[in-house]
Chain A
Amino acid sequence: MALDRELVGRSYPPSAVYEVGRAKIAEFAAAIGEDDPVHRDADAARAAGHPDVIAPPTFAIVVSLEAAFVVLSDPEVSLDYSRVVHGEQKFTHHRPICAGDRLVATTTIDAVRSVAGNDLLTTRVDLATEDGEAVCTATSMLVARGTA
């Protein structure tokens, strides 16, 4: 079923706080083969000018994709998740995500399109600290194949 164009601009309430842990950052860095010490050694990170270990740039997806599920569970968004593939991803980093950050995600539907029988849904997740400091914007375009 095609997605309703009226969904564009819909925003969801802020997520629960995600507390960024050093161990999670180290685990993610190891999984992508990134061995820079700023991801696992707080002293090395401080020497490089960061308050604590920093996350690799695509770590933001760990927080943003979970937040974006609020869209897929919206009863007015009829998207068959078993047919969904990731079409496009963009991150804008205002600063690196850092261990100890307490992040809140706010999700908005940025665009809805149908192209060649596929439904395209673009979600934007704004990650900010609890105190409102903007950290990262993650924009994901999901493609539901053959559903439009």
Chain B
Amino acid sequence: MSLRSATDVAVGTELPEQVLRVTRADLVRYAGASGDFNPIHWNDRVATEVGLPGVIAHGMFTMALASRVVTSWAGNPGALVEYHVRFGRPVVVPDDDAGAEVTVRGKVGALLEDGRVRVDLTVTTDGEKVLSLARAIVRLA
């Protein structure tokens, strides 16, 4: 992976869009890896009992997927120095092989000091925003 230089980007530079598929199996794997076993992320009965439309993805899983778009663009997973998201609406993951589709777009929102840039992310599923705020600050080469 080659490192992206701060001199190659400007305000408005767009990151390559990524469309990511999320299935129930992904949620189970994330639950195990993260230690977040809240049943609303794997059990339809519990999810609907608490008023959700069905099993939903962990907000932290969506946050992690969106971070990959930034770090792969920067060419360095260690480059992300600040990352802030607000969870707007849940990603409902149906119990089928297709799962849910999450689209991540990013754009450089500001050039900061020391080669750092702010990336503003837009994360949607079915055309609706799932993160009402998503900003990452990366230190470029």
Contact = CB atoms under 8 A, between A and B. Distances in A.
Interface range on chain A: under 10, 10 to 19, 20 to 34, or 35 or more? Answer: 20 to 34
Interface of A: 24, 27-28, 30-34, 36, 38-39, 48, 50, 54, 56-58, 61-62, 65-66, 82-83, 85-93, 95-96
23 contacts: A27-B32, A30-B29, A30-B33, A31-B30, A31-B34, A32-B33, A32-B61, A32-B68, A33-B20, A34-B77, A36-B72, A48-B76, A48-B78, A57-B67, A57-B77, A58-B67, A65-B36, A86-B87, A89-B84, A90-B85, A91-B84, A93-B81, A95-B78
B60 A36 contact: no
A83 B51 CA distance: 10
A92 to B, nearest CB: 5
B65 A32 contact: yes
Interface range on chain B: under 10, 10 to 19, 20 to 34, or 35 or more? Answer: 20 to 34
Given A30-B33, A32-B61, A89-B60, A56 B67 contact: yes
A82 B50 CA distance: 9
A83 B46 CA distance: 12
Interface of B: 1, 20, 26, 29-30, 32-36, 50, 59-61, 63-65, 67-68, 71-72, 76-78, 80-87, 133
A9 to B, nearest CB: 22
